Amino acid sequence: LRKSDPKIKIKSVFNDGTILNKQKYDSLVATAELSKFQPIIFQDTISNDVVFVYKKQTKEDLKKIEDDFKRKNKDDKEIRKNLNGTKISNLELKDLNGTVYTLESLKGKVIVITGGGSGLGKAMTKYFMELGAQVAISSRDLEKLKNTAKELEAETGGQCLAVQCDVRNYNEVEQMLQQVITAYGKVDVLLNNAAGNFISPTERLSANAFDTVIDIVLKGSKNCTLAFGKHWIDNKQESSTILNIVTTYAFTGSAYVVPSATAKAGVLAMTRSLAVEWAKYGIRSNAIAPGPFPTKGAWDRLLPGDLAEKFDMSKKVPLKRVGDHQELANLAAY
Ligand code: HXC
Ligand code: NAP
């Protein structure tokens, strides 16, 4: 306004007309409810002045604002103090970002994590337990799962059930679901994290090799999604969540990991389709597409032999670094 007409003046007033001619502005201001900080702005047709009208803060208002501010600061300090006093203090405080990740954010939730015995699945499971969820981890190797469950229970004080299940087999998935319900009485979240992958020129793959990856990633995610979805819908559960771990190349495709890229793209399409179709049942369907995060499972199969020395995963990432497990855990918890 000033630029377009240098004669126009901009004035600020409080709503009792402190600065300007009372008669001129009082009635206008009285017709609108002023909020604490948001001014009402109008242009006076006689003087052409542009007037910002602010709510006048009473002493009580100002005191309340100050008290709110002090209370919030105290709450933050309290959370930090509690964190520092417990075993989970190895978490960076910045990871518990404001109101989203308070310590009991996931209290009352039952979460099933396929492939939760190792790598990223284990990292997410641990954080869910720290945030108060009851969890079940499943995969083919029961011994490994039991060790992970024991380790995480000791570290977090939470509850972790180990359930053997090959996600390629629908009957095993149904049995896994029943085991979780028997143990916890319900299930709120399915995290499809189990995967299979290896690097290879595609023409060298046997039909069975290609199938194996598709079966774990696409068919496995489908099996779990279908079994859990049917259960939630039949039982009229009010709200539930499917979270799928895909990867960046689900969007772009990727050479030398074609079965995985094909399967992850399928999981992404399923995620988007069910987000629409099952929304009416209160089922949320989301996916996270991580870039490279160092895990033994991934690194052994994607960078076998001397590839690990020749190929630096971080160079592919614009930030020139690989992911930190807690970064993924934060997003999954959200
Ligand atoms: C070519 C291979 C192969 C390899 C196995 N096969 N490994 N072919 N190159 N490196 C072939 C076998 O010869 C066989 O075909 C068929 O695949 C099945 O092999 P099995 O060993 O019998 O399968 P199985 O015991 O079921 O094991 C599945 C697996 C294995 C996928 C092969 O690697 C696995 O258990 N993976 C689980 C964990 C995992 O992969 N984690 C990494 C996720 S990382 P034939 O014809 O001989 O019978 C990830 C990262 C994404 O997804 C993004 C990163 C940026
Ligand atoms: P990981 O430790 O090898 O995890 C894969 C898990 O899947 C294992 O715990 C494995 O357990 C389980 N699994 C494999 N086949 C299974 C089957 N048939 N039934 C049930 N469980 C099965 O590797 P990760 O790196 O943590 O990968 C976790 C997820 O992140 C995967 O979805 C992967 O695609 C995704 N991801 C990883 C990266 C990365 O850079 N690490 C990047 C993007 C996406 P068992 O062997 O005991 O069955």
pLDDT tens for residues 10-50?
A: 776 666 555 444 445 544 544 445 555 566 777 777 777 77
249 carries an active-site annotation? yes
State residue 23's pLDDT score: 45
Residue found by looking up tokens 């990223």 in the block = 120
Across the range 133-160, mean pLDDT stands at 97
Find the 191 Cα to ligand 2 centroid distance in Å. Answer: 12
Give, as one character, the DSSP assignment of residue 175.
H
4 burial class (0-12, 13-18, 19+ CB within 10 angstroms)?
exposed
**E strands, the chain, in order:** 10-14, 40-43, 50-54, 110-114, 134-139, 160-164, 189-192, 240-245, 283-288
Residue 305 to residue 213: CA distance in whole angstroms: 21
Find the 110 Cα to ligand 2 centroid distance in Å. Answer: 21
- pLDDT per residue as tens digits for the range 262-288: 999 999 999 999 999 999 999 999 999
> Does residue 90 surpass a pLDDT of 50?
no
Pocket residues for ligand 2 (CB within 6 Å)?
114-115, 117-121, 139-141, 144, 166-168, 193-196, 216, 220, 245, 247, 290, 292-293, 295, 297-298
Residue 269 to residue 246: CA distance in whole angstroms: 11
Q: Which residue has the higher pLDDT, 215 or 326?
A: 215
Q: How confident is the model at residue 67 (pLDDT cuts 50, 70, 90)?
A: confident
> Does residue 225 surpass a pLDDT of 50?
yes
Helix (H) or strand (E) holding 126: helix 119-130
Residue 268 to residue 190: CA distance in whole angstroms: 15
Q: Are 282 and 237 in contact (CB under 8 A)?
A: yes
Residue 280 to residue 272: CA distance in whole angstroms: 14
State residue 70's pLDDT score: 72
Share the mean pLDDT of the chain: 85
Residue 95 to residue 324: CA distance in whole angstroms: 11
Residue owning the nearest CA to atom 28 of ligand 2: 120
- Indicate which residue of 25, 170, 184, 249 is catalytic: 249
Counting residues of the chain whose pLDDT is more than 90, the rounded percentage is 66
> Does residue 305 surpass a pLDDT of 70?
yes
Instruction: Indicate whether residue 247 lines ligand 1 (CB < 6 A).
Output: yes
Find the 209 Cα to ligand 1 centroid distance in Å. Answer: 7
State residue 13's pLDDT score: 67
State residue 163's pLDDT score: 98
Q: Are 98 and 73 in contact (CB under 8 A)?
A: no
Residue owning the nearest CA to atom 12 of ligand 1: 209
**Smallest-distance ligand from the CA of 261:** 1
For the stretch 78-110, what's the b/e string if a residue is b when 16 or more beta carbons lie within 10 angstroms of its beta carbon? Answer: ebeeebeeeebeebeeebbeeeebbeebbeebb
Residue owning the nearest CA to atom 12 of ligand 2: 115
Give, as one character, the DSSP assignment of residue 287.
E
State residue 95's pLDDT score: 45
> Does residue 96 surpass a pLDDT of 50?
no
pTM for the predicted model, two decimal places: 0.79
**Smallest-distance ligand from the CA of 169:** 2
For the chain, what's the residue count?
334
State residue 9's pLDDT score: 73
